[in-house]
Structure 1
Amino acid sequence: MGDKTDATDGARLLPWSSADGNPCFLVSDGTGYVARLADDVEDALLELAAELIEEAQRVLGARSWTSGELHLLAVELTEALTAMRRIAESRGARLPVPHGAAEVPRS
């Protein structure tokens, strides 16, 4: 999780980056338009990942792939994994720390 996700306490890592590739954060109570939009984007990314998993299973199960199919699948799966990691970091950062529990340091 490195320094790319470091932000003010309570900031939400959004599921998109700025035009120059930097992470975007939102500080809010989680009920506004941008928070709802981020929820919708996360849901769409999760659905896309599920579809890519099915496609990967289909392509790999056929055992007659072209190098182009495998390359495209690898690119799309890499993009999906990147999005899933961002969503997991964002959601994990928003989990409450139980009273008396030590925070797990970010690696």
Structure 2
Amino acid sequence: MPDVTAKVFVRLLPWTSPDGKPCFLAGDGTGYVSRMADRIEEEQLGSADDLIDEARQLLAARAWTPGELHLLAVELTATLADVRRVARSRGGRLAALGQASAPT
């Protein structure tokens, strides 16, 4: 018999559909897709750390080409979009947990 007390949350996933629309997952946060999303979020945050280090090195050298600056801006923009999606997803889950634990 299913557990009728289980909470179902909607989670913003760390990827988009092929046409760029956000993807969501409804569930209790313990399934395979949730674990995969957790792993991908960690990879995205790790990539952001790496890119920040690369940006600092490139800018500190003060010998960059316009092409290098353009590529850096493109990569930083994409990474910032990923990090923003992770932050929104985690913020939404925190808010949902707060609502779930609030007295009714």
TM-score, normalised relative to structure 1: 0.81
- What SS does the corresponding residue of 2:14 show, helix, strand or coil? strand
User: Unpaired segments of 5 or more residues in structure 1?
Assistant: 1-8, 101-107
Larger strand fraction of residues: 2
Q: Which runs of 4+ in 1 moved over 3 A?
A: none
Identify the residue that residue 98 of structure 2 maps to in structure 1. Answer: 97
Report matched runs for 1:1-107 at 5 Å: 10-95=9-94, 96-97=97-98, 99=102
Aligned-pair identity (%): 58
8 Å CA contact 2:9–2:28 kept in 1: the answer is no
Q: Deviation per CA, 1:36-63: give whole Å up to 9, x if none.
A: 0000100100000000000000000000
Query: For the residues of structure 2 that align with 1:20 and 1:68, how far apart are their CA atoms?
Result: 28
Two-structure CA RMSD over aligned residues (Å) = 1.5
Query: For the residues of structure 2 that align with 1:27 and 1:88, how far apart are their CA atoms?
Result: 18
User: Unpaired segments of 5 or more residues in structure 2?
Assistant: 1-7
Q: CA deviation at 1:20?
A: 1.2
Letter in 1 for 2:68: E
Rg: which structure is higher?
Answer: 2
TM-score, normalised relative to structure 2: 0.83
Identify the residue that residue 104 of structure 1 maps to in structure 2. Answer: none
Identify the residue that residue 5 of structure 2 maps to in structure 1. Answer: none
Larger helix fraction of residues: 2
Query: For the residues of structure 1 that align with 2:19 and 2:71, how far apart are their CA atoms?
Result: 24
